[in-house]
Amino acid sequence: MNSNLSQPDKIRIQRVRLTFPSEAGPVRVLDGIDLAIKEGEFVTVIGPSGCGKSTLMNLVSKTVEHAADQFEGTIDIAWRSNAAHRLGYVLQKDTLLPWRTLEANVGVGLEIMGMPSHEREAQVQSWIHRVGLAGFEKSYPFAMSGGMRQRANIIRTLACNPEVVLMDEPFGALDAQTRMTLQQLLIDLWHAAKTTILFVTHDVEESILLGNRVVLMSRRPAKIHRVFDIDIPHPRSVIDARVAPAFQDAYREIWKELKGDIELSQLKNSAAKGIA
């Protein structure tokens, strides 16, 4: 569903190349990434392990500095504000502070923003309710399940109302059922707020269920191999979307590309062995 073609680009990644120094010489990880993401788009990124997905997210979030000779290209984000919390970044491992209760953890971003506590409490309460954590406000992280913790971890970021949210395999460590619940939750939250989301996953199904577009990266040195438009209307249901024809088409297409990639790499491996 590419109805927002008229929207301006929110994130523009152009000719991004990145090389890591290593003992065996420089390793090129990203090899010319071009990607434009519209305001309010939900884009998912998949690709083989180690191809540089997390690296790309780190670059977009500007949380790591790179020497000029290692990094080329530009990453522009059309910010609407100057606020420190305009970008949210959710990692696979939840990083709730163990000495804070659930509500104090969810409110930490708002606290950093300097929101007065009575306002904060109301907001935190409403977020906790929305994700079904009511009743656990005073619980500490050690007494919460992985799914509960990740829920809190996500709303802690969303509560700050960021313009752009980056998510790096946030559901990677969860069991299938919890994962589905959280996928649905994320779809609903996105549908309500229309935040721009860039979401990394290694799960093909997840990438199609969540994304308006799926970006498939090639193995290292990574380029963008293909981009798939996913024409499943919103609001989606994770159960119904799975049986939508658009889902199945995309699933088949993506696997076709991935299979090619896998066979190619096996070919390369056996060729390398043959020489040795």
Ligand X SMILES: Nc1ncnc2c1ncn2[C@@H]1O[C@H](COP(=O)(O)OP(=O)(O)OP(=O)(O)O)[C@@H](O)[C@H]1O
Interface positions with Mg ion (CB under 5 A): 54
**Beta bridge mates, 95:** none
Residue whose entry in the numeric block shows the structure tokens 């589905």: 180
Residues found near ligand X in the complex (CB under 6 A): 20, 22, 29, 49-55, 202, 220
How far apart CA 162 and CA 164 sit, in angstroms, is 5
Nearer to Mg ion, 54 or 181 (CB): 54
**Residue 98 Cβ vs another protein, minimum distance, rounded to whole Å:** 6
**Residue 141 Cβ vs ligand X, minimum distance, rounded to whole Å:** 24
Q: What is the DSSP letter of 8?
A: P
**Beta bridge mates, 89:** 166
Nearer to ligand X, 31 or 121 (CB): 31
How far apart CA 256 and CA 42 sit, in angstroms, is 23
Nearer to ligand X, 213 or 220 (CB): 220
**Residue 19 Cβ vs ligand X, minimum distance, rounded to whole Å:** 9
How far apart CA 72 and CA 223 sit, in angstroms, is 14
Q: Are 190 and 236 contacting, i.e. CB atoms less than 8 angstroms apart?
A: no
Q: Are 60 and 166 contacting, i.e. CB atoms less than 8 angstroms apart?
A: yes
**Residue 112 Cβ vs another protein, minimum distance, rounded to whole Å:** 5
Residues found near another protein in the complex (CB under 8 A): 61, 63, 83-85, 87-89, 91, 93, 95, 97-101, 108-109, 111-113, 140-143, 156-157, 160
- Say which entry of ligand X, Mg ion, another protein, none residue 20 contacts (CB below 5 to 8 A, set by partner kind): ligand X
